[in-house]
Amino acid sequence: MYTTRSTLLRKLQNNDEVGYQEFYTTYRNLIRSTALKNNIPPADTDDIIQAVMLGIFNNGTFLYSKEKHGLFRSYLGGTIRHKISDYFRERSQGAENLTSEVPENSKFEEIFKDEYLAHLLELATDELRQRVQPEVFETFELCCRHDLSNKEVAELLNAKPNTVTIRKKRCLEILRSIIAQLQAADPELDLPDL
């Protein structure tokens, strides 16, 4: 099950090795997608991920402190932006016009917020997957993520239409609960209603 961000951050502040691996697994795709949307070539995204990880961990020590840095989301976004800026700055030495690729603050913030929301929704969906039976999750995916009708899903899964309706409703209730918890932890997120 997806560990709450506060639990994960506590593990990291206690220098928990499992916490570091969980952090990497949890955030690497967010860092990669944010880098790609900020014009980092796909071949260089692993370098950005590594630079961000080194910026957040110094010799294995987690550098974030809520009292010092504020919201973790802002701290992570700032670290990613700095590493992307460093990437373009390093490549601009001796090259013309490359510095124009450095993202403007407002553009970066918009991209990061969109990617962060998508990241949280993916984590919420992963948690949903772990909380329900595989056939229930498959029903949800076909109805809600692939936009098939209840009737089409019932035929595909050889299930009764009422079963599809009940499974989908159950999944949406659980997902709404997960999203409500995420929203309560960070009210500025403005997560979508389902």
Amino acid at 169: K
pLDDT value, residue 67: 86
pLDDT value, residue 89: 87
User: pLDDT tens, position by position, for the chain (194 residues)?
Assistant: 344 567 787 778 777 777 788 889 989 999 999 999 999 999 999 999 999 999 998 877 888 888 888 888 889 999 999 999 999 888 877 555 554 566 677 789 999 999 999 998 898 999 999 999 999 999 999 999 899 999 999 999 999 999 999 999 999 999 999 988 888 877 777 777 76
Return the C-alpha torsion angle 41, 43, 45, 48, nearest 10: -100
pTM of the model: 0.81
Q: Which long-range contacts (C-beta less than 8 Å, at least 24 apart) are formed by 164-173? A: 164/139, 167/135, 167/136, 167/139, 167/140, 168/139, 168/140, 168/143, 168/144, 170/132, 170/136, 171/128, 171/132, 171/136, 171/137, 171/139, 171/140, 171/144, 172/140, 172/144
pLDDT value, residue 63: 81
154: burial class by Cβ within 10 Å (0-12, 13-18, 19+)? buried
pLDDT value, residue 101: 61
pLDDT value, residue 102: 60
Helix, strand, or coil here: 40?
A: coil
